[in-house]
A and B are shown apart, each in its own frame.
Chain A
Amino acid sequence: MSARVFIPKDSGALAVGAEEVATALAAAAKRKNVALDIVRTGSRGLYWLEPMIEVATPAGRIAYGPVTEGDVETLLAALPNGGPHPKRLGKPEDIPFLKRQTRLTFARCGIVDPLSIDDYKAHGGWRGLEKAVSLKPEAIVEEVVQSGLRGRGGAGFPTGIKWRTVLQAKGEPKYIVCNADEGDSGTFSDRMIMEGDPFVLIEGMAIAALATGATKGYVYIRSEYPHSVATMNEAVAIARRAGYLGPKVAGSARAFEIEIRMGAGAYVCGEETSLLESLEGKRGLVRAKPPLPAHQGLFGKPTVINNVISLASVPAILADGAAHYRDFGMGRSRGTMPIQLAGNVKHGGLFEAAFGLTLGELVDDIAGGTATGRPVRAVQVGGPLGAYFPRSLFDTPFDYEAFTAKNGLIGHGGVVVFDDTVDMARQARFAMEFCAIESCGKCTPCRIGSTRGVEVIDRIVRGENREANLALVKDLCNTLKFGSLCALGGFTPFPVMSALTHFPEDFGAGPRLAAAE
């Protein structure tokens, strides 16, 4: 009997040699006449252990990692029985990083063959859609409202309320648009789902269609994710052949189609109205709201526009009920959040957990501090538009409102850790520079203010009229915050002001303190 071996095909694993390991293992097995059935999966999200390969044994899966091509020969002897090897990690579920998680949205990621629809079904897939088919649209919407699910893209708007608005809106056709333009540095959860469990996204979109009466869906994926584009295209074709998309969705009388579209390298297209413009074939210029996309969205029609994780969370909500999902979390942040631990961390990866863990627990405990072994100095939460947090704010719980209260945001759940070599004036300058590069150009404060911001920060660092220029940059941030239509101009002040507030010593306010421990 041949042993089933699982090797990730996720971009993050490929980037550290998973393909080379898979090729070498297959070649070695052939040469030594060892029967191996190699299955390519998504990633479990334990990136410091990638390439992490697993073998199915009667006692469950056994993991090995990080595996290099050089390990392949010795590994081949150990693999069939899950036997001893220096790289043996034991059962993946027992690795503390995984054991401490609550995987609802990522339940299958890294376990199943992403393009096997049978695997998907065997691991609980399509139960949510089957439930939705038996419900009236209002009842589906109500279930999502009751779950407390909020937009995981960053804005945190209640998903069910958005769906209800589209359900009640007049206009044909209606659209479901999935925002897969995951441009925030430090985030990769959308990518992991698209590459590791694409059917869960398709199922979520189909449920959204049944709930709102939409007949066409688009997934707008950034061009920096070619593997996601390829996997999603294949998955949509497979789902169509199996009858989960097409004229009769899951045997119902309802039609729904999905098309995959690729972005072209513009960060601002992750902003929902800019994304809609881009899908319409135009420059990604931000639109003023109102009208809301729910009323006049894609091609002027009622449109649900949701992030990948929001949509991918829906099947579990329908399958196991709103209460099951809502029971996780704290305050108004219900359910689980896929938190992405990134940058200078010892244990980087995907950590799905109920809201409420503190930033300190995430960074020091779960991520294990820095990869460089130096003290943690700053943590940027929520992407390039998120605030930098110093150690003194590490007691902030991971929750939408708690982060807002500390002049920050959780955004799409990215946590980027910096050690004590970071120069915060340089980070503040970069935030302005990034805004200048990526501004769509519609609002003057964002288009021009960002360039002026770079110049003013340069003057502060050079010590020119320090006080006057500090006042100027604060005033500029205020203008950006209140004078921009979207979050690019509106939120660039978060990284800039947080750097100024929490790390003034880097802006020439006296000698820089030794690493704040």
Chain B
Amino acid sequence: MSASTPWDRKSAQEIIRKHRAMDGAALPILHALQESFGFIHEEAVVLVAEELNLTRAEVHGIVTFYHDFRAEPAGRHVIRLCRAEACQSMGADRLAEYAQAKLGAKWGDTTRDGAVTLEPVFCLGLCACAPSAMIDGRVVGRLDEKRLDALLAKVDGATR
């Protein structure tokens, strides 16, 4: 998100080496890389493979298996709307259609001005205050069109 730094091979290598000694280090390394750069750079795949003594194909397989890892940077803000059943029972499908129309973005898209990436999420554990979402890491519940508008306006204002 907004805090990420531009891709840098050397600092990526440092991040990888810092976590390399952990048992089953791949996920902690990929999380740390994404935390730092905002996405998993192509070159990072090669570096992780070298450092962990895996093939490039294996690392590519890991990166693409998990929904969290991005191949490209996200927008300045990330909105993850819950699409799971508990939220569906409280109108999440309708809310999702509204958000998509309002942002002009389908699931996984970033708005053309690069401000907002809209993503689905399957459950945030906020099922007793549905529908829910996570906006730049902040949890929100009891959402409706009005509340989403207010949150979008806040996000939008912050980017200008």
B128 at the interface (CB under 8 A from A): yes
Nearest CB in chain B: distance from A483 CB, A: 22
Closest B residue to A345 using CB positions = B128
**CB-CB nearest in chain B for A47:** B128
CB of A7, distance to nearest CB on chain B (Å):
16
Within the complex, which residue of A262, A341, A384 is in contact with B85, where a contact is CB–CB below 8 Å?
A384
Are B125 and A224 in contact, with the CB atoms below 8 A?
A: yes
Question: Digit string of A376-400 for contact with B (CB within 8 Å is 1, else 0)?
Answer: 0000100010000000000000000
Q: How large is the interface on B (under 10, 10 to 19, 20 to 34, 35 or more residues)?
A: 35 or more
Asked if B129 CB lies within 8 Å of chain A CBs, one says yes
Chain B CB within 8 A of A422 CB: yes
Contact of A224 with B123 in the complex, beta carbons under 8 Å = yes
A135 to chain B, nearest CB (A): 30
Contact assessment for A281 and B24 in the assembled complex, using a CB-CB cutoff below 8 Å: yes
CB of B85 within 8 A of CB of A340, answer no
- Whether the Cβ atoms of B122 and A16 lie closer than 8 Å is no
Asked if A414 meets B127 with Cβ closer than 8 Å, knowing A343-B89, A430-B85, the reply is yes
Q: Chain B residues near A342 (CB, 8 Å)?
A: 86, 127-128, 130
Question: Nearest chain B CB to A13's CB is how many angstroms away?
Answer: 9
Interface centre among B65, B85, B124, B141 (most CB of A within 10 A): B85
Known contacts A15-B141, A281-B52; is-contact A188 B126 (Cβ 8 Å): yes
Residues in B neighbouring A184, C-beta threshold 8 A: 123
- Asked if A62 CB lies within 8 Å of chain B CBs, one says no
**Known interface pairs A264-B66, A281-B26; A187-B127 also in contact (CB < 8 Å):** yes
Tell me if A185 and B128 are in contact (CB < 8 A).
no
- Complex Cα spacing A265 to B83, Å: 14
- The answer to whether B66 and A191 have CB atoms under 8 Å apart is no
User: Given A186, A190, A191, which contacts B86 in the complex, CB threshold below 8 Å?
Assistant: A186
| Cβ-neighbour of A299 out of B23, B66, B123, B124 (below 8 A) | B23
| B90 partner residues in chain A, CB cutoff 8 A | 343-344, 371
For the A-B complex with A185-B84, A280-B23, A371-B90 known, give 14 more contacts whose Cβ atoms are closer than 8 Å. Answer: A12-B128, A15-B126, A47-B129, A188-B128, A224-B125, A225-B124, A266-B65, A281-B27, A284-B66, A342-B86, A344-B130, A345-B128, A416-B89, A440-B65
Query: Which are the 3 A-B pairs with shortest beta-carbon distances?
Result: A348-B128, A281-B26, A15-B141
Q: Which residues of B contact A190 (CB under 8 A)?
A: 125
* CB < 8 Å neighbour of A427 from B61, B85, B123: B85
> Considering only CB atoms, which chain A residue lies closest to B134 in the complex?
A224
Which one, B26, B27, B125, contacts A225 given CB within 8 A? B125
The answer to whether A191 touches B128, judged by C-beta atoms less than 8 angstroms apart, is no
Query: A182 and B24: CB pair below 8 A?
Result: no
A349→B62 CA distance, assembly (Å)? 36
Smallest Cβ-Cβ distance to B141: which chain A residue: A15
In the complex, the answer to whether A265 meets B128 with C-beta atoms within 8 Å is no
Check: B117 CB closer than 8 A to any chain A CB: no
Contacts of A15 on B, CB cut-off 8 Å?
A: 124, 126, 129, 132, 139-142
- Which residues of chain B (60-91) have a CB below 8 Å from chain A? 61-62, 65-69, 84-90
Collect the chain B residues with CB atoms within 8 Å of residue A427's CB: 85, 88
Q: B62, A50: Cβ atoms under 8 Å?
A: no
Please tell me if A226 contacts chain B, counting CB pairs below 8 Å: yes
- List residues of chain A with CB within 8 A of the CB of B139: 11, 14-15, 227
**Interface assignment of A32: CB less than 8 Å from any CB of chain B:** no
CB-nearest residue of chain B relative to A440? B65
Kindly report which residue of chain B lies nearest to residue A284, judged by CB atoms: B65
List, sorted by A's number, 30 A–B pairs whose CB atoms are closer than 8 Å.
A12-B125, A12-B126, A15-B129, A15-B132, A15-B139, A16-B141, A47-B128, A47-B129, A185-B84, A186-B85, A188-B125, A188-B126, A188-B128, A261-B27, A262-B31, A264-B27, A265-B66, A265-B68, A280-B23, A281-B24, A282-B58, A340-B128, A341-B128, A343-B90, A417-B89, A427-B85, A427-B88, A430-B85, A434-B122, A437-B122
A15, A283, A343, A416 — most chain B CB neighbours (10 Å): A15
Shortest Cβ gap from B56 to chain A (Å): 14
Which residues 94-150 of B sit at the A interface, judged by CB distance below 8 A?
A: 121-130, 132, 134, 137, 139-142
Q: Are B127 and A340 in contact (CB under 8 A)?
A: yes
CA A419 – CA B124 in complex, angstroms? 22
- Report Cα–Cα, A341/B23, bound state, in Å: 38
Complex Cα distance A450/B45, Å? Answer: 30
In Å, the complex CA distance between A414 and B89 comes to 14
Q: How far is the CA of A438 from the CA of B27 in the complex (A)?
A: 18
CB of A153 within 8 A of chain B?
Answer: no
Residue with the greatest number of chain B CB neighbours at <10 A, chosen from A12, A266, A278, A371: A12
C-alpha spacing A432/B144, complex, angstroms: 27
> With A261-B28, A265-B68 in contact, do A343 and B86 touch (Cβ < 8 Å)?
yes
CB of A267 within 8 A of chain B? Answer: yes
User: Would you call A48 an interface residue if the criterion is a C-beta within 8 Å of the partner chain's C-beta atoms?
Assistant: yes
> Is the beta-carbon distance between B89 and A422 smaller than 8 angstroms?
yes
